[in-house]
Structure 1
Amino acid sequence: MSSIADNIRSVTRRIQKATEAAGRAAGSVRLLAVSKTRPAEDLRLAAAAGQQAFGENYLQEALDKIEALHDLPELEWHFIGPIQSNKTRAIAENFQWVHSVDRLKIARRLSEQRPGDKPPLNICLQVNIDQEESKSGCHPDDLAGLAVAMSGLPNLNLRGLMAIPDPDQPQDSLRESFQRLAKALDSLRGNPDVGGSLDTLSMGMSGDLELAIAEGATLVRVGTALFGPRDYQH
């Protein structure tokens, strides 16, 4: 059975090949290890293999891991799950990135609750790019207005967009979903009222990262290909 270190090397090679095939600069795509339901020991093994960025969906589970791995201050914690209002303070205090901001109310709370001794919180606006009823994310038509409002909040740095397209749709449709998100980010970059770094497209997972990279992903969120099938009994 492949070790976590072997899997990280394998996925890193996939990212490098896809980046080269897309004619993009080496190192322009980052790997985010999606570590929900994984024990802290697995994350420690991944960190020993060079992985530093970890994405968590469940707040209390993530806080337990952050505490267990406090001796690894180089780790970068990304919150990628749905955000409830009563969870924003702990997220603002403990994470460097949040990918799943889709409402101005949540963005305001994160900005207000970000500790003053920490740098601005990096956020991505989550877009419901396929307008699926069951998915979180803002409607594409609301994106520009939200981006303008969020980029004006003092303790946030709007880094870009995140989406979770339906992975079961045909490949051509999936490619179009990735293209729509990339075009949406380009549109924000051209809007003089939107501030922030706007350098991040968080899209693509274990099964479709090559397609996402071909369409401009700068960060791919990979869990299964690194850690194996997820154990929801954990």
Structure 2
Amino acid sequence: MTDLILRESLAAARKRLSCALASAGRPADGARLLAVSKTKPAGMIRAAWQLGQRDFGENYVQEALDKQAELADLDGIVWHFIGPLQSNKTRTVAEHFAWVHSVDREKIAVRLNDQRPAALGPLDVCLQVNVSGEATKAGVGLEELGALAERVVALPNLRLRGLMAIPAPAEGLAAQRLPFARLREALEALRTRLPEAPLDTLSMGMTADLEAAVLEGATLVRLGTAIFGERTTP
């Protein structure tokens, strides 16, 4: 992808988000783009940063570390870990990321807490919710969410910011909105249950369902192919 094409695709993604926010009657700054840069080269991330993009999402730890080293000169870049997180990767993620979107069990939360360097301050985390009840998908169930959230809030080196979900694909705006509405309602319930937590984040919506997610309150929308083009498996 050339820099010109990236400029055009990023502008189109921003325009799409802006239109979705306006259609939902939400403020222009009500949600921001999280550019999913997994499998994309560091040079492409640098070009997006030069165009004003600051939040980038990575799924693969070693790939992300290589990019972070190459892009260490970029001020204000924010690295989000958005993929499945295994126990043997928690230390590296705790040391090198600002956000983790995929916390779905207490063991992972405790390890991230214990391994977060104090000098970096608390790690911002979202709990991944299996909002569609899919047997093959990661995420805590809605019925266990409250208990997990209570345990995470008690960990001093983590800051529980909200919830993340990747619903099952659905056709049509109404069908797409349903799981996002469940996630929004779950966040509202957590705010009542845990008033001390800064629960301000709904990480939901991708290229196929951005508009539905924004209608239901998304604050971080994860776009990959819409910004960087089709990706290949590393």
TM-score, normalized by length of structure 1? 0.96
Judge conservation of contact 1:80–1:99 (CA < 8 Å) in 2: yes
Q: CA deviation at 1:3?
A: 1.1
Match of 2:137 in 1: 135
Q: Measure the CA separation in 1 of the matches of 2:185 and 2:152.
A: 19
Q: Secondary structure at the match of 1:42?
A: helix
2:220 aligns to what?
A: 219
8 Å CA contact 1:148–1:195 kept in 2: the answer is: no
Contact map agreement 1:158 1:195 (CA 8 A) in 2: no
Q: How many correspondences in the alignment?
A: 232
Do the aligned residues in 2 keep the contact of 1:152 with 1:195 (CA within 8 Å)? Answer: no
What residue number does 2:85 align with? 83
| 3-state secondary structure, aligned to 1:70 | coil
Which residue does the alignment assign to 1:108?
Answer: 110
**Is the 8 Å Cα contact of residues 93 and 113 (structure 1) preserved in structure 2?**
yes
Q: For residues 23-78 of structure 1, what are the alpha-carbon distances to aligned partners after superposition, in whole Å with 9 as ceiling and x for unaligned?
A: 11111101000011101111011111110100000000001100110111311000
Tell me the distance in 2 between the aligned counterparts of 1:85 and 1:12: 35
| Structure 2 spans left out of the alignment, 5+ residues | none
What is the 5 A alignment of 1:171-190?
Answer: 171-190=173-192
Matched, 1:5 2:7: yes
Counterpart position of 1:165: 167
Distance 1:108 1:9 in 2: 39
Q: Name structure 1 gaps, 5 residues minimum.
A: none
How much has 1:196 moved relative to structure 2? 2.1
Equivalent residues of 2:59, 2:83 under 8 A apart: yes
| Counterpart-to-counterpart distance in 1, 2:163 and 2:47 | 29
Deviations 1:58-115 (A, max 9, x none): 0000011001101113110000000100100000000000000000110011011000
Secondary structure of the 1:3 match is helix
- RMSD after superposition: 1.3
Q: Per-residue displacement from partner, 1:158-198 (whole Å, max 9, x unpaired)?
A: 00000000124554332100100000000000114x64210
- Percentage of matched positions with identical amino acids: 53
Maintained 8 Å contact 2:191/2:197: no
| CA distance, structure 1, for counterparts of residue 232 and residue 88 of structure 2 | 27
CA distance in 2, matches of 1:169, 1:87: 35
Secondary structure, aligned partner of 1:64 = helix
1:126: how far off? Answer: 0.2
Task: Find the counterpart in structure 1 of residue 205 from structure 2.
Answer: 204
TM-score (norm 2): 0.96
Partners in 1 of 2:196 and 2:109 — Cα distance? 14
